[in-house]
Amino acid sequence: MKNIFYQLNAFRLVNFVWDNPLSVIIGKLGTGKTLLLTYLSQTMKLLTDEIYSNYPLEDDKVKVLTFKNLDFTDRTKPVPPRW
């Protein structure tokens, strides 16, 4: 029964990220934030081609988005940029 509970929670988390595309995970050092975001990016890769990460993943479908991509002086530039 626990296994189904964990699978349902993971499904709810994926739905939350799908509905709220800009997600921030906050936590202490060593709590699994990077692991969670890597899992979510791999799961979301099955649903869409537009996945951006702020840390490099060795995956062709995941693009890296950093502060260099943001231009706070020109609000007409799209974020994320169109490559």
- What is each CA distance from 76 to 15, 24, 55, in whole angstroms? 29, 24, 25
Report d(CA 27, CA 81) in Å as an integer: 28
In the predicted structure, residue 1 carries a pLDDT above the cut 70: no
d(CA 18, CA 71): 25
pLDDT digit string, tens, across residues 10-37: 777 777 777 766 666 778 888 888 787 7
Residue pointed to by tokens 């699994």: 32
| Peptide bond before residue 80 is cis, with ω within 30 degrees of 0 | yes
What global pTM score does this model have? 0.48
The count of C-alpha atoms lying within 13 angstroms of the C-alpha of 62, restricted to the half-sphere facing its C-beta, is: 18
Q: Confidence band (pLDDT; 50, 70, 90) for 39?
A: confident
